[in-house]
Amino acid sequence: MFFTVTRRAAAALVLAALLAGTPLISRAADPYEITAVLPLTGSVALIGNSIAEALGVLAASVNKEGGIGGRPLKFVVADDQSNPATTVQLVNGIIASKAAVFIGPALNATCSAAAPLLKDGPVSMCTSPGIHPDAGSFSFSASPSTADLAIVTAHYAKRRGWKKIAFLITTDASGIDGEKVLQSAFNAPDAQGTQIVDIEHYAVNDLTVAAQLSRIKAAAPDALYVWASGTPSTTAMRGIHDLGLDIPIMTSYSNATYSQLAAFKDYMPKELLIPGLPAMVPPDQLSRGSLRDAVAAYDRILVAAKIRPDVLQATAWDEAELLVSALRHVGPSATAEQVRAYIANLSGFTGVTGTFDFRAIPQRGLDWRTAVLMARWDPAKNTFVSASPIGG
């Protein structure tokens, strides 16, 4: 179960509880509420709504198994409107409520805005791979980092024999991070043989990228990586289509939602590739074992709820499962520090994105060796299929 609240409503709930002198969660029979700060509106609303939908299904599944210490789990979804300033207001409200945990935010910019507020908790599970939390902090991003995604991209490019590659990157916080990690990966010794021939930039509110794509086409790359999410990625795909740039196109895995792919429908390149997570591909394309079993179970649960599983739902699913595991282990009265310590020392936890080892990989639990593969969109099957093993 999940409920959606606006920023004002969330603040009002917190204030009312504080004035009454009682915590938001007071009796054993009351639901255990976890706020999810997500972009339900704004430029990447497709991401937030996709995640919120999956969290509702997960709560129902957890509650069938006894909830958290006998209390039903409930996600309260707060819309940050894809806006870092709104995120800060919502997170300050969560801090004031003395909550131990929350899920989100969902974007590089909003996660980065929230992180400085969490010096003493609560535990945050950012769903963006673009944030790089400090070891030992209360900020987690239980997914491989953008650096891991870039490494697998470089490995795959070399394996494909691509000699020249170009990048089209947004100028926002995500793009700044993306350019840094892509250059690092493609300049590494194990990526030798592939040359970056052009890097072009555009603003997230630009309506056209025709000039940038013309320069890219003149550089004659073997493949193009579009580092963008949501509406800006659709702008890029439309420009690629209009220019007739007929080369393999790669893009960020935040675009692997079926709603975003529908936005690409009229502009879909002949070959669309995304460095992403195991849950993107059918379970039978994964090696037998606990990861394959977890992905198969995840698919069954969401399909039974008439939801088509996608990769962003998978990331949030694992993050929520990690929080549930911590709260069940420590107890529903757990403090932020107790939850942080539990997750920081957790290893061998298999989710739908990989098998986590937070001791070896602080704040993330996963890296390119354990949880990143290249997926290819198959129009005939209307799904992603594996284009590489894990690791590229």
Is there a single domain that holds both residue 35 and residue 133? Answer: yes
Is there a single domain that holds both residue 128 and residue 140? Answer: yes
7: pLDDT strictly greater than 80: no
Is there a single domain that holds both residue 151 and residue 136? Answer: no
Is there a single domain that holds both residue 140 and residue 165? Answer: no
Among residues 391, 371, 328, the alpha carbon closest in space to that of 141 is found at 371
Which among 229, 246, 276 is the end of a domain?
276
Quickly state the pLDDT bin for 121 (edges 50, 70, 90).
Answer: very high
142-153 confidence digits (pLDDT tens): 889 999 999 999
Amino acid in the structure at residue 295: V
282: pLDDT strictly greater than 50: yes
- Classified as helix, coil or strand, 227 is strand
32: pLDDT strictly greater than 80: yes
234 is a domain residue: yes
For residue 108, the model assigns a pLDDT of 87
12: pLDDT strictly greater than 90: no
Answer yes or no: are the C-beta atoms of 140 and 363 closer than 8 Å.
yes
CB within 8 Å of 130: residues ≥ 6 apart: 107, 108, 111, 145, 146, 173, 174, 177, 178
Is there a single domain that holds both residue 120 and residue 173? Answer: no
Is there a single domain that holds both residue 117 and residue 197? Answer: no
Quickly state the pLDDT bin for 29 (edges 50, 70, 90).
Answer: low
Amino acid in the structure at residue 333: S
- DSSP lists the bridge partners of residue 101 as 123
Answer yes or no: are the C-beta atoms of 25 and 32 closer than 8 Å.
yes
Is there a single domain that holds both residue 62 and residue 134? Answer: yes
Q: Which residue has the higher pLDDT, 45 or 92?
A: 92
CB within 8 Å of 21: residues ≥ 6 apart: none
106 is a domain residue: yes
- DSSP lists the bridge partners of residue 37 as 78
| Sheet architecture: strand order including 272-276 | 195-202, 164-170, 223-227, 249-251, 272-276, 373-378, 383-386
pLDDT (mean) for 131-141: 94
CA distance 155 to 297: 30
Is there a single domain that holds both residue 220 and residue 254? Answer: yes
284 is a domain residue: no
pLDDT (mean) for 258-265: 87
Residue 252 belongs to a domain with what CATH number? Answer: 3.40.50.2300
- Number of structural domains the chain divides into: 2
Is there a single domain that holds both residue 11 and residue 68? Answer: yes
Q: Please give the share of the chain, as a percent, with pLDDT higher than 70.
A: 93
378 is a domain residue: no
CB under 8 Å, gap of 24 or more: what pairs does 23-32 form?
A: 23/97, 23/98, 24/97, 24/99, 25/332, 28/69, 28/70, 28/71, 29/71, 30/71, 31/1, 31/71, 31/72, 31/73, 31/74, 32/67, 32/68, 32/69, 32/71, 32/72, 32/73, 32/74, 32/327, 32/332
H or E segment and range at residue 342: helix 336-344
33 is a domain residue: yes
168-205 confidence digits (pLDDT tens): 999 998 899 999 999 999 999 988 899 999 999 999 99
Is there a single domain that holds both residue 125 and residue 36? Answer: yes
Is there a single domain that holds both residue 133 and residue 221? Answer: no
127 is a domain residue: yes
11: pLDDT strictly greater than 90: no
114 is a domain residue: yes
Which among 246, 276, 306 is the end of a domain?
276
For residue 153, the model assigns a pLDDT of 96
Domain that holds residue 181: 147-276
For residue 310, the model assigns a pLDDT of 79
pLDDT (mean) for 209-234: 96
Is there a single domain that holds both residue 152 and residue 272? Answer: yes
314-361 confidence digits (pLDDT tens): 989 999 999 999 999 999 999 999 999 999 999 999 999 999 999 999
For residue 101, the model assigns a pLDDT of 98
Mean pLDDT of the chain: 91
Q: Which two tokens stand for residue 208?
A: 């056209």
For residue 15, the model assigns a pLDDT of 44
19 is a domain residue: yes
